Structure 1
Amino acid sequence: MKKITFTLLLSFTAILFSCQNDDDNYDPIVGKWQLETEYINNTPIPFEDCEDELTVYFRSNQNLEITYYEFEFGQETCIEEVEFAKWKPVADGFYQVIYVDEETGEEDLEAESFKPQFQNNTMIIEFEDSFDSQTISYRQVFKRI
């Protein structure tokens, strides 16, 4: 009986530590996300044609797959386009996306940084851009799929 109890205790301990290691390495951005809503200066922007099918897939190996669809007039269909990039956590909840040239494999020197907010199965990304001395704010809301 002592042998069975010890074996069960040893098994439970091994499972407990393996689960803790997985949780320690968990990054909330990892997974597949679909664009749900987009805002410019706090005004919702309606999707055109196939735009609501945009997905981003942050893989655990730090590869990023962006799938979007472009409407092809004349054929009245959506054509799938896929872009590949790399991502990495940098500091204080910020991440960087580094685009890779498909032909040369070289990384773009101007990496984009952002700090997403996570709420349950929702990821919100906000950023600003300036055009002609006017600042425009953008917000994208993604749902985990």
Structure 2
Amino acid sequence: MEQEHHGTIPFLDVKISRNPDGTLGHSVYRKPTHTDRYLHQRSFHHPSIKSSVNRTLVQRAFEVCDQDKLKRELKHIQTSLQRNGYKPHRIKISKPDQRVPYTQGPPTVSPSVTLPYIGPASHHLQRILRQAGVKVYHSSGNKLQG
């Protein structure tokens, strides 16, 4: 069971802190062993997978942090992504788009396929399949060799 330490207590990925005025603040919590290593920009993955690293970190910051800690967290994300090979002009730190609420009605089901990412050929095949109404997802496959 977690204990309060110096006025803060972690819960999942949220650090809850007691402010001097008695209110509670919240920010992103990282374990002491966290290394800020994310998928490197030069890794052989589909560009959408690499851009999701930036998007999910920023989305979590906006969802978890209070206003007092948000700016510091966004700066931390920017520094971490640069250390993982992301160019400063490619890092998007703006507020994520709001999700469109679900509307009533039967869900539309379209055919989909998951393909291994093999570089430019994957992009070409994706364009062809999209024109045929097929949704394409990419997997990165196993890259580690022992």
TM-score category by the smaller chain?
under 0.3
TM-score (norm 1): 0.18
Higher share in helix:
2
Give the structure, 1 or 2, with the largest relative contact order (CA under 8 Å, sep 6 or more).
1
Higher share in strand:
1
